[in-house]
Homo-oligomer: A and B are copies of this chain.
């Protein structure tokens, strides 16, 4: 899984004529080995421990590249920070967000996806992607 993501990004990079650099490799490894939904800042801090020489501008730039390449997706939960999550080809998942403790649970629901397509078709829209987030309290917090 991780290997194919690496491959996918390398394909994207060479197709775009990007040069391969140490920094991007490090950031890619770190991102792929990381839990989901992390902030640019979180990844930057995590990296800095082992690689104090990587600047945060590079982390920002590289995560944007990951999103562009399709191996990551930007998500925003309304707390002002952009998060990045791994993107698994072909599948899509949505989020339950606990507004008390910040816990994030992922879920998938094909019926909802199908209904979304129907709604879009009714309005003549061609859907590229979507975002569904349910906000509330998790088991522990309610």
Q: Which residues of A contact B (CB under 8 A)?
A: 74, 76, 78, 96, 98-99, 105, 107, 109, 111-112, 115-116, 119-120, 122-139, 142
Number of copies: 2
CB pair B124–A138 under 8 Å, yes or no, is yes
CB pair B96–A123 under 8 Å, yes or no, is yes
Q: Which residues of B contact A128 (CB under 8 A)?
A: 99, 135-137
A129 to B128, CA, bound (A): 24
Q: Which residues of B contact A125 (CB under 8 A)?
A: 96, 98, 105, 134, 136-139, 142
Q: Which residues of B contact A126 (CB under 8 A)?
A: 136-137, 142
**10 pairs of A and B residues whose beta carbons are closest in the complex:** A124-B139, A127-B136, A126-B142, A128-B136, A130-B134, A126-B137, A131-B133, A132-B132, A126-B136, A112-B115
Q: Which residues of B contact A138 (CB under 8 A)?
A: 123-125
Contacts known (A76-B78, A124-B139); A134 close to B116, Cβ less than 8 A: yes
Nearest Cβ distance between residue A64 and chain B, in whole angstroms?
13
Q: Which of B111, B130, B134 contacts A133 (CB 8 A)?
A: B130
Beyond the given pairs A112-B112, A112-B115, A131-B133, 14 more chain A to chain B contacts, judged by CB atoms under 8 angstroms and listed by A's residue number, are A96-B125, A98-B125, A107-B122, A107-B123, A112-B116, A120-B134, A120-B136, A123-B138, A123-B139, A125-B142, A127-B135, A128-B135, A128-B136, A130-B133
